[in-house]
Structure 1
Amino acid sequence: MISRLQEKLAAGQFVLTAEVCPPKGCDCGEFLEKARKLAPLVDAVNVTDNQGASMRISPLAAAALLVREGIEPIYQITCRDRNRLALQSDLLGAAALGITNVLALSGDHISFGDHRGGKPVFDLDSVQLLQAIQGLGEGRDLAGKRVSGEPAFFVGAAAAPEAEPFELTTFKLEKKAAAGASFFQTQAVFDPERLAFFSCAVKPHGVKVIAGILLLKSATMARYVTENIPGLNVPAALINELENAADPTAAGVRIAARLAAACKPHCHGLHIMAMGREDLIPQILESVKKVKSKE
């Protein structure tokens, strides 16, 4: 079954995705309500996997709940918490539950999260995970054994357009493309010109680029992003704009809207990360409606 996301990207249409973090608990009421409100505005909803290495409900369960609601999920799966048996097992479960879109990630290191005494796994890296997904789609597991049924996933991977040195980044992206990634969902973009450069660099690999737009809610958050997340650097001018704003969150929405509009001509879609303020996503999207998208 072809997902709506895959169908639109294949047809050259511009796509919109947004991120909703599953709850820290088994009450999914608020999570589902946020996803329902976003569903008319976006093509798919990302379900994060213990984002920031903080424990939350299984993304497999959360994504399955979205499928039940008629909302198309992008199921994020990371290498941090599972070995190759568990990763393949969860992927087969996802296929059985009607989940088509998968974003294969290494995952934030456990030292960033709320269970720092836990042991990270990283049995596979993100490229090897993509290869495992590719193998399952061909009817075999990593041990070379046959599996019943061949899951037809639409698979994506992460990318960091502003990471340095860029040559090392492109080498890893080439490997991801060769391992079956059909789209890149990027980290937050703060330099649209760098996104344009990045998109040109990966164009020969035929992978669609969905640019990440992060809602910065304060100058403190902007500084934290710059200091703690590799590959991200919030420009000083944006930090000053947040610092001097009477309403920092409103300023963050304006910044996100500007960046989204500036990035649209250089990518095949936008991925909005509102970090708990999904109610503000419509304001961000409003600004990009009339902007010409990438051909």
Structure 2
Amino acid sequence: MPSPLQAKLAADSFVITAEVCPPKGSDCAQFLNVSRALSDQVDAINITDNQGANMRISSLAASALLIRDGIEPIFQLTCRDRNRLALQSDLLGAAALGVTNILALTGDYISFGDHPQGKPVFDLDSVQLLRTIDGLNNGKDMNGHQLSGSTTFFCGAAAAPDAEPFELSLIKLEKKVAAGARFFQTQAIFDLKKLERFKKATRHLQVKTIAGILLLKSAGMARYINKHIPGLTIPDIIIDQLAGAPDPAMKGLEIACRLAVEAAPLCDGIHIMAMGREELIPNIVETLKR
């Protein structure tokens, strides 16, 4: 049986997803309160996996808590911290716990995070992880051994419409689809022309695209992203708008609402990354529904 998210996308329904970081600690009360408040606003909630290589509670455990509460998660799984044994074990555990939606990621490099002295794994990359998940869905592990019960994962992958040279990133996207990706969640969109280019270039892949909308807090945040986040560029005009605003945070919300509305005709859904300001997500959702 398909997940509700899978069924909505298959029916060509426009979906809204949002990202929530699990806590850095075992107290999940705030995480659950935020997720419950969003559950009526969005179709699924992405649970990040040690986002930015910063240690937090397991994305699998957090996804299972949402399942217990009747909230649909998208379980983000990165290759950075686990070898192929651990990845497959976590995936089988996710299936046993009722998790269906997976976003397969290579992962940010460990030197970016709060444990830079750690040893990265990267036994697999995102394409190989997608192939592994496809194998589990067909009842086999990576070495072709039969499983006692196959999985039914609905797999997605990350995409970067801003990435240059775009032709090279398109080759990687084609590999992800061939490996089993059925939807893309993109990095934050700030240039609608590049999203339109992305839509045209990926039409032959017949994969759903959920466009990322990032809630900026300040011009400083935007400049930091331009300097440190590969494949993502925030235009100077947006940075100037934030820098000149009496309330940069509210200007960031205004920009996010505008971009969401303008991006909607070019994609199959919107993915909202609020960066700790999840209470503002309903404002973006309401703007989209007008």
Please state which band the TM-score falls in when normalised by the shorter chain: over 0.9
- Provide the C-alpha distance between the structure 1 equivalents of 2:127 and 2:219, rounded to a whole number of angstroms: 35
C-alpha deviation, 1:18, in angstroms: 0.1
Give the aligned partner of residue 92 of structure 1: 92
| Deviation sequence 1:35-80 (CA, Å, 0-9, x none) | 0010001000000000000000000000000000000000000000
3-state DSSP of counterpart to 2:19: strand
3-state DSSP of counterpart to 1:149: coil
Mapping of residues 167-206 of structure 1, within 5 Å: 167-206=167-206
Mapping of residues 113-124 of structure 1, within 5 Å: 113-124=113-124
Amino acid at match of 2:210: I
C-alpha deviation, 1:197, in angstroms: 1.1
Amino acid at match of 1:63: S
| Deviation sequence 1:191-239 (CA, Å, 0-9, x none) | 1121011011111111100000000001110001111000111110110
- Provide the C-alpha distance between the structure 1 equivalents of 2:154 and 2:286, rounded to a whole number of angstroms: 28
| Deviation sequence 1:174-196 (CA, Å, 0-9, x none) | 00000010000000010112101
| Deviation sequence 1:152-183 (CA, Å, 0-9, x none) | 00100000001000000000000000001000
Give the aligned partner of residue 64 of structure 2: 64
Mapping of residues 18-33 of structure 1, within 5 Å: 18-33=18-33
3-state DSSP of counterpart to 1:46: strand
Give the aligned partner of residue 161 of structure 2: 161
Q: Which runs of 4+ in 1 moved over 6 A?
A: none
- Provide the C-alpha distance between the structure 2 equivalents of 1:197 and 1:128, rounded to a whole number of angstroms: 27
Give the aligned partner of residue 80 of structure 1: 80
3-state DSSP of counterpart to 1:102: strand
Amino acid at match of 2:156: G
Say whether 1:249 aligns with 2:246: no
- Provide the C-alpha distance between the structure 1 equivalents of 2:89 and 2:151, rounded to a whole number of angstroms: 12
Give the aligned partner of residue 8 of structure 2: 8
- Provide the C-alpha distance between the structure 1 equivalents of 2:164 and 2:232, rounded to a whole number of angstroms: 10
Amino acid at match of 1:114: D
- Provide the C-alpha distance between the structure 1 equivalents of 2:49 and 2:146, rounded to a whole number of angstroms: 28
- Provide the C-alpha distance between the structure 1 equivalents of 2:3 and 2:38, rounded to a whole number of angstroms: 17
- Provide the C-alpha distance between the structure 2 equivalents of 1:18 and 1:129, rounded to a whole number of angstroms: 23
Identity of aligned residues (%): 66
Give the aligned partner of residue 234 of structure 2: 234
Amino acid at match of 1:284: I
Amino acid at match of 1:71: I
Amino acid at match of 1:31: F
What's the C-alpha RMSD, in Å, of the aligned pairs? 0.6
Give the aligned partner of residue 39 of structure 1: 39
Please list every run of 5 or more consecutive structure 2 residues that lacks an aligned counterpart in the other structure: none
C-alpha deviation, 1:144, in angstroms: 1.2
| Aligned length, in residue pairs | 290
Give the aligned partner of residue 267 of structure 2: 267
- Provide the C-alpha distance between the structure 2 equivalents of 1:278 and 1:4, rounded to a whole number of angstroms: 22
- Provide the C-alpha distance between the structure 2 equivalents of 1:142 and 1:286, rounded to a whole number of angstroms: 44
3-state DSSP of counterpart to 1:45: strand
Say whether 1:280 aligns with 2:285: no
Q: TM-score, normalised by structure 1?
A: 0.98
Please list every run of 5 or more consecutive structure 1 residues that lacks an aligned counterpart in the other structure: 291-295
3-state DSSP of counterpart to 2:175: helix
C-alpha deviation, 1:148, in angstroms: 1.0
- Provide the C-alpha distance between the structure 1 equivalents of 2:243 and 2:63, rounded to a whole number of angstroms: 37
| Deviation sequence 1:109-146 (CA, Å, 0-9, x none) | 00100000000000000000000000001111111111
